[in-house]
Amino acid sequence: MTMDKQVETELKLQLAPENWPALVAAPLVRDRVKPGSEELLQLISTYYDTKDWALRRAGMAYRVRQTGAAAFEATVKMDKGVVRDGLSERKEITVPLTDARPVVREFTAAGLDLAKLVQAASLQPLFTVTVARQVKLLQLDRETVAELALDRGEVRAGQKTAPIAELELELKAGSLKTLLTYAVALAAQFQLAAGLQSKYEQGLQLLGEPVRNRKPAQPAGPALQKLLAAL
């Protein structure tokens, strides 16, 4: 399978944090971890838009992320993708930064003329997402590699906060069918729920903005089986 590097394919899942140690220690996870791939990352992501929501109206979410002490990048995610039952397939473009200031023209070389919509000076911070991320690369079969990320932290918009505790399985190489088959097995063993809201949507909700996904999380097993059957 040849993957489009600008398309992020991931499953957002939920499990109570007190059960995370059992999950990562289970043979279903432990025996698939690629040696040397485990990391613990501190991520601070600030989301931006203009005063009149120019990016959101165009179906985009813009964030600047700091990883650790001195690594910065800006990412634009396109809303015009496939989102269903915890699975999202969205186009995203990322450019490296030298500091935490948002940029616009740097996206042109990556195929996104963001300057047609906004100027960097017009971008205003909306909210911040701070998480500790535990990352492992999993070799699911000969061709398929997925990144397992366990995020715990909070979304903060002014004085309002909301907790984050979620699992993400992102397809890095290989087959979506293999990823879904694996996720079905994981959900069956640990009673995972399908996460329906992105961090961006959680931040918008804190701001009092209407969001698409406001339903409570549902059991992941039936939803994943449905996705698998549709392939």
Q: Which stretch of 100-114, 155-169, 180-194, 205-219 has the lowest confidence by average pLDDT?
A: 205-219
Query: In this structure, are residues 138 and 35 in contact, taking their beta carbons and an 8 Å threshold?
Result: no
Q: Are the C-beta atoms of 108 and 114 separated by less than 8 Å? A: yes
Size of the chain, expressed as the number of residues it contains: 231
The pLDDT mean for the chain works out to: 91
37-52: per-residue pLDDT in tens?
999 999 999 999 999 9
The structure tokens 């100027």 sit at 119
- pLDDT level of residue 1 (50, 70, 90 thresholds): very low
CB 29 within 8 A of CB 148: yes
User: CATH classification of 7-229 is 3.40.309.10, yes or no?
Assistant: no
Nearest CA-CA partner of 87 in 202, 195, 178: 195
* Percentage helix, strand, coil for the chain under 3-state DSSP, each rounded to 5: 25, 40, 30
Summarised one tens digit per residue, pLDDT across range 165-212 is: 999 999 999 999 999 999 999 999 999 998 768 899 999 999 999 887
Q: What is the pTM of this model?
A: 0.91
